[in-house]
């Protein structure tokens, strides 16, 4: 017994082959109001009335026959949007171009835009279907049109003309697209339908060659899109990073990091030490106990917990002068210091440093040497 997938089994049971259509991609161009969307709707078998201007582009899909499915990019034709036409040239197997023949102005404008299109490198060697649309029932000459469009032989796979003048036929009968384009062509036998059929035949004939260009363009487009996506992702990350940095800066401004405690400096005391007023609440009086603070207690004072430069040892016998750069030491010598709850009187000339004052100097890390 041969292995068959459920899909194959269903179709074998129904005695029908699954329909796998290959895709033909087409681009439909022409100046604004030329009738591109109108034509594509009629071709597909949809009601073409009450159309809106195509803003950007729209994609119209339709079944052509058993072998092919059509994907048509209907690109807006207003002057401001014509710049994007060339983005589609490489990605399509063939070009539909609608020439608006309603007035001399629209005809000239259509020819100008067509001239740029037909000479584009991605349009050369591709089949072109030229549809002449004329809503004013103007007379025109095929030879004249052929001369005006100035198409050189061999530049394109084929160039097929057709007329779509003042199309009014059976609009009320068009309700929905139930038939393939080919089936409708056989039924209606309109000239534009038959010419369009020849255009698709030409694409089918060169399908492999044309598809290579289309696939290469699709790959290039995907690479461009991925690169653009990556670029957008990086930009987004940068924006988020900058926002985070700004947040952190804002937080730091509101809550600055803890700075080393500033040394309290008191104003110059009165010259007579006896008249110095002492706030008993804030600073306890100098006591015998405080003047004999054991060194281990001093070491564990809160001031010492804060990391800082190693405290230099003070030698009683040192004769080093006070450095002029050591401004801290200078200030501390000249002012009374209220520190760690011990009041230190200002230094008076000739007076020996008390033990407490030496301890205080050690705590301040100053290099004051008693005279």
Ligand X SMILES: Nc1nc2c(ncn2[C@@H]2O[C@H](COP(=O)(O)OP(=O)(O)OP(=O)(O)O)[C@@H](O)[C@H]2O)c(=O)[nH]1
**Interface contacts to ligand X, rule CB under 6 A:** 30, 32-38, 51, 53-54, 76-78, 133, 135, 164, 166-168
Q: Which of 151, 99, 88, 162 is nearest to 125 (CA)?
A: 151
The response to whether 2 counts as a known ligand-binding position is no
Of the pair 36, 44, the CB lying nearest ligand X is at: 36
CB-CB contact of 296 with 343 (8 Å):
no
Of the pair 4, 79, the CB lying nearest ligand X is at: 79
Query: 352 pairs with which residues across the strands?
Result: none
Of the pair 58, 335, the CB lying nearest Mg ion is at: 58
Of the pair 33, 45, the CB lying nearest Mg ion is at: 33
Of the pair 49, 371, the CB lying nearest ligand X is at: 49
CB-CB contact of 44 with 181 (8 Å):
yes
Q: How far is the CB of 27 from Mg ion (least distance, A)?
A: 13
Q: How far is the CB of 120 from ligand X (least distance, A)?
A: 19
The response to whether 34 counts as a known ligand-binding position is yes
The response to whether 31 counts as a known ligand-binding position is yes
The response to whether 83 counts as a known ligand-binding position is no
The response to whether 54 counts as a known ligand-binding position is yes
CB-CB contact of 99 with 130 (8 Å):
yes
Of the pair 53, 229, the CB lying nearest ligand X is at: 53
Of the pair 76, 346, the CB lying nearest ligand X is at: 76
Q: Which of 216, 223, 157, 210 is nearest to 22 (CA)?
A: 210
Q: Is 37 in the site for Mg ion (CB under 5 A)?
A: yes
The response to whether 33 counts as a known ligand-binding position is yes
Task: Report the distance separating Cα 292 and Cα 285, nearest Å.
Answer: 14
Which conformational region is residue 361 in: left (phi greater than 0), alpha (psi within -120 to 50 degrees), or beta? alpha
The response to whether 169 counts as a known ligand-binding position is no
Residue 24 binding result from ligand X, Mg ion, none, given CB thresholds of 5 to 8 Å by partner type: none
Q: Is the CA virtual torsion 287, 291, 297, 301 positive or negative?
A: positive
Q: Is the CA virtual torsion 150, 155, 158, 164 positive or negative?
A: negative
Q: How far is the CB of 173 from ligand X (least distance, A)?
A: 14
Stretches 33-41, 186-194, 301-309, 356-364: which one binds Mg ion (CB under 5 A)? Answer: 33-41
Residue 91 exposure: Cα atoms within 13 Å on the Cβ side: 15
Q: How far is the CB of 230 from ligand X (least distance, A)?
A: 33
Q: How far is the CB of 86 from ligand X (least distance, A)?
A: 16
Q: How far is the CB of 8 from ligand X (least distance, A)?
A: 43
Which conformational region is residue 336 in: left (phi greater than 0), alpha (psi within -120 to 50 degrees), or beta? beta
Q: Is 193 in the site for Mg ion (CB under 5 A)?
A: no
The response to whether 77 counts as a known ligand-binding position is yes
CB neighbours (10 Å) of residue 327? Answer: 10
Which conformational region is residue 263 in: left (phi greater than 0), alpha (psi within -120 to 50 degrees), or beta? beta
Q: Of the candidates 45, 54, 133, 195, which one interacts with Mg ion according to CB under 5 A?
A: 54
**Interhelix angle 36-44/191-205, nearest 10 degrees:** 90
Q: Is 110 in the site for Mg ion (CB under 5 A)?
A: no
Q: What is the DSSP string of 78-92?
A: SGGGGGGTHHHHTT-
Residue 215 binding result from ligand X, Mg ion, none, given CB thresholds of 5 to 8 Å by partner type: none
Q: Is the CA virtual torsion 130, 136, 140, 144 positive or negative?
A: negative
Residues that bind Mg ion (CB under 5 A): 36-37, 54
Q: Residues annotated as binding site for GTP? A: 30-37, 77
Residues forming the annotated binding site for Mg(2+)? 37, 54
What residues form the annotated binding site? 30-37, 54, 77
């Amino acid at each position: 017994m041969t292995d068959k997938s459920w899909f194959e089994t269903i179709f074998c049971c129904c005695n029908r082959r699954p329909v796998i259509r290959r895709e033909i991609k087409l681009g439909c161009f022409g100046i604004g109001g030329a009738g591109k969307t109108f034509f594509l709707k009629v071709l597909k078998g949809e009601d073409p009335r009450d159309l809106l201007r195509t803003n950007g582009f729209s994609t119209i899909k339709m079944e052509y026959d058993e072998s092919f499915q059509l994907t048509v990019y209907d690109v807006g034709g207003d002057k401001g949007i014509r710049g994007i036409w060339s983005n589609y040239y490489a990605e399509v197997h063939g070009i539909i171009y609608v020439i608006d023949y309603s007035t001399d102005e629209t005809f000239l404008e259509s020819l100008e835009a067509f001239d740029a299109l037909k000479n584009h490198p991605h349009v050369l060697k591709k089949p072109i279907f030229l549809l002449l649309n004329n809503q004013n029932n103007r007379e025109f000459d095929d030879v004249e049109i052929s001369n005006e469009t100035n198409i050189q032989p061999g530049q394109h796979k084929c160039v097929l003309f057709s007329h779509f003048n003042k199309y009014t036929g059976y609009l009320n009968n068009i309700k929905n697209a139930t038939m393939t384009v080919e089936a409708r062509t056989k039924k209606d036998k309109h000239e534009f339908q038959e010419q369009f059929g020849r255009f698709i035949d030409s694409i089918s004939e060169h399908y492999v060659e044309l598809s290579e260009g289309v696939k290469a363009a699709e790959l290039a487009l995907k690479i461009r899109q991925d690169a653009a996506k990556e670029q957008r992702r990086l930009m987004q990350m940068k924006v988020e990073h900058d926002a985070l940095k700004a947040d952190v800066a804002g937080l730091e401004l509101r809550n600055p990091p803890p700075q080393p405690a500033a040394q309290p400096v008191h104003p110059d005391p009165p010259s007579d030490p006896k008249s110095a007023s002492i706030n008993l609440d804030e600073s306890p009086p100098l006591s015998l106990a405080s003047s004999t603070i054991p060194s281990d207690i001093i070491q564990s004072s809160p001031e010492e917990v804060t990391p800082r430069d190693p405290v230099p040892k003070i030698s009683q016998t040192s004769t080093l002068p006070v450095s002029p750069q050591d401004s801290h030491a200078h200030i501390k010598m000249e002012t009374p210091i209220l520190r760690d709850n011990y009041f230190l009187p200002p230094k008076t000339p000739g007076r020996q440093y008390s033990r407490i004052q030496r301890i205080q100097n050690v705590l301040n890390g100053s290099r004051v040497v008693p005279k």
